[in-house]
Amino acid sequence: MKIVIVGSGGRLGAALAREYSHVASASQPMIVRKLGLGSPSHEFNVVGFNHSQLDLADSEQIHAKVDNLDFDVLINAGALTNVDLCEKEPDLAFQINAESPRVLAEICATKNVKLIHFSTDYVFDGEKREPYQEEDEAKPISVYGESKRAGEENVLAIDNRHLVVRVSWVFGPDRPSFIDAMIKRARESEHVDAVADKFSAPTYTLDIARMLPRFFYGKDAALQRQSGSDRPRTPQRGVPTETDADGGGILHFANAGECSWQEYAQFGLDCCRSLGVPLKARAVGALQLSQMKDWVARRPPYSVLSTEKFFSITGVTPRNWRDAAGDYIKKFYSPK
């Protein structure tokens, strides 16, 4: 299977590229690697584009780089994720987070291949106070959230057998995230604070990478390839909220459970201390969202994503965020 990963230099894209191949570079030969998923092994040929290789703000460049490639699935992990920068530069946010997904969706529809587009828990306003399901109305409260919601709509309006995967609080080794910032601060200072009234679920990039391949083929695409038919698939218009029989629509994925940023940070420090990582701080103090005066954009106070639909499709419950974060910290912070 030939995979294109857009955003292969980011926290999520780099993890996907690493899991699916030894090399993810548009300028190097594609490499094949077997990935065991508890089912028959999958073989992937991967080509990736980082920001320097593909500027998502440039639609013409997207066409120039992607139009002539031969692939079976395209994963878009690229986005402008700086929430406050999006608020300051809304045109850029919408170009990268909304328009470029539309362009990629059109290219994939023309090639009769699937697009898997990553989105965010920030499409919700946080007022529900219980896990958000795929069919819940998206009500973003920031330019970032608005641009990501527009990207979802654009992708599924082109072909509703494309897949939008919403994830939350993504962490992993390729780019520092919140948990890394808290550990770094605890190493340097005796005082560490984090917001205590904002809740979601951390999600490990490794867990995303391992669950995703089961969604690479839609039902009809798999049958078409098995039959050897080259008949173009007719794009299905509309914006479904449920993952349909062809594996398209919207799907939530996150590690199980929920926590505040304060609880998440405290867990990280406790893990480090149990591993013998030297820290100056022991406890994480509590801040309130109302105290974050330097923030430009509003953040949803509660954005936990329900993974009930993921379980109904796969029969798999994502592991708890504590187990995932604990494994990450043990692997990347344990004294050598």
Encoded amino acid at 127, one letter:
E
Q: What gap in Å lies between CA 78 and CA 74, rounded to an integer?
A: 12
Query: Which DSSP helix (H) or strand (E) runs through 117?
Result: strand 114-120
**Residue 80 is encoded by which pair of tokens?**
């402008």
For the purposes of burial, counting CB atoms within 10 Å of the CB of 70, is it exposed (0-12), middle (13-18) or buried (19 or more)? exposed
Residue among 20, 132, 144, 264 flagged as catalytic? 144
144 is catalytic: yes
Pairing type for strands 259-260 and 199-200 reads antiparallel
Q: Spell out the residues 6+ positions from residue 59 whose beta carbon is closer than 8 angstroms to its own.
A: 99, 100, 103
Q: What gap in Å lies between CA 295 and CA 142, rounded to an integer?
A: 11
Residue in this structure with the two tokens 């692939």, named with its chain if needed:
71
Residue from 289, 288, 281 nearest 265 by CA: 281
Q: Which residues are catalytic?
A: 144
